[in-house]
Amino acid sequence: MMKIAVFASGTGSNFEAILESIQLKKIKNVEVVLLVSDNPNALAVTKAKNASIPVFSFQAKDYPDKLTYEQEVLEKLTNHQVDFIVLAGYMRLLGPVLLKAYDGKIINVHPSLLPAFKGKDAIGQALDYGVKVTGVTVHFVDEGMDTGPIIAQESVPVTMSMTRETLTIKIQEIEHRLLPEVIQSLANKETTI
Ligand code: GAR
């Protein structure tokens, strides 16, 4: 069984999609043992509580620096015997404490075809630029913002009639399928090692 922690700052629809995939047995040998959030008021936190998933939430402003709060996060991850970290809308760069402890074991989902439109509001950036194709990327995490080796990508055509709302729905639909698929393939590799 691969024990994962999901990190989320906001709505947590990807977090929910992971839980649902486990419930429906679309992904096997994976257990979500912790939700980590840098926003105690995030909807993701409520969703975790409703699903009886342990939560660690914190506010960066309560700590002197990233090193200090990441040490506390690492302690929680160790307590819950977390093997793998999934960033699902976690809007903060990871520092050396977590990157070192979970080297090669952290993935992120991003709503664009990286390396295009890194950072916040990738969907808005794509619309503003006027691209005809955008998409979703799942990648390993390094110290950069939305950088690191790409694991999976899927494209979405941007049609004339698309609004921010309809494009967001289309992209999230793909995220909610692609991220669990990648988690499953990584879990398969873990269990065959
Ligand atoms: C998702 O679209 C995810 O790709 C994006 O935040 C959203 C979170 O939604 N992540 C990034 O932009 C990372 N740079 P959710 O909270 O409903 O899962």
Q: Report in angstroms the alpha-carbon separations of 69 from 111, 122, 149.
A: 27, 27, 26
Owner of token pair 């993701």 = 44
Task: Compute the distance between CA of residue 144 and CA of residue 181 in angstroms, rounded to an integer.
Answer: 24
- Is 51 among the domain residues? yes
Find the DSSP H helices in 2-149. Answer: 13-23, 43-50, 66-79, 96-101, 122-129
- Is 114 among the domain residues? yes
- Is 192 among the domain residues? no
Atom from ligand 1 closest to the CA of residue 119: 14
Provide the domain count of the chain: 1
Task: Calculate Rg over the CA atoms of the chain.
Answer: 16
Per-residue confidence (pLDDT) for residue 189, from 0 to 100: 87
In the predicted model, residues of the chain with pLDDT beneath 50 are 193
- Is 193 among the domain residues? no
Per-residue confidence (pLDDT) for residue 181, from 0 to 100: 97
Task: Compute the distance between CA of residue 87 and CA of residue 4 in angstroms, rounded to an integer.
Answer: 10
Per-residue confidence (pLDDT) for residue 193, from 0 to 100: 43
H or E stretch covering 6: strand 2-7
- Is 158 among the domain residues? yes
Cis peptide before 115 (omega within 30 of 0): yes
Measured in Å, residue 89 CA sits from the centre of ligand 1 at 3
Catalytic site includes residue 110: yes
H or E stretch covering 32: strand 30-37
| 158, 132 contact by CB (below 8 A) | yes
pLDDT tens digit string along 115-171? 999 999 999 999 999 999 999 999 999 999 999 999 999 999 999 999 999 999 999
- Is 126 among the domain residues? yes
- Is 17 among the domain residues? yes
CATH number at residue 88: 3.40.50.170
Pairing of strands 133-140, 106-110: antiparallel
Q: Is 10 in the pocket of ligand 1 (CB under 6 A)?
A: yes
**Which domain range does residue 61 map to?**
2-187
- Is 111 among the domain residues? yes
Atom from ligand 1 closest to the CA of residue 111: 4
- In sequence order, what are the beta bridge partners of 133? 157
Sheet holding 106-110, edge to edge: 55-57, 30-37, 2-7, 84-87, 106-110, 133-140, 150-157
Per-residue confidence (pLDDT) for residue 190, from 0 to 100: 73
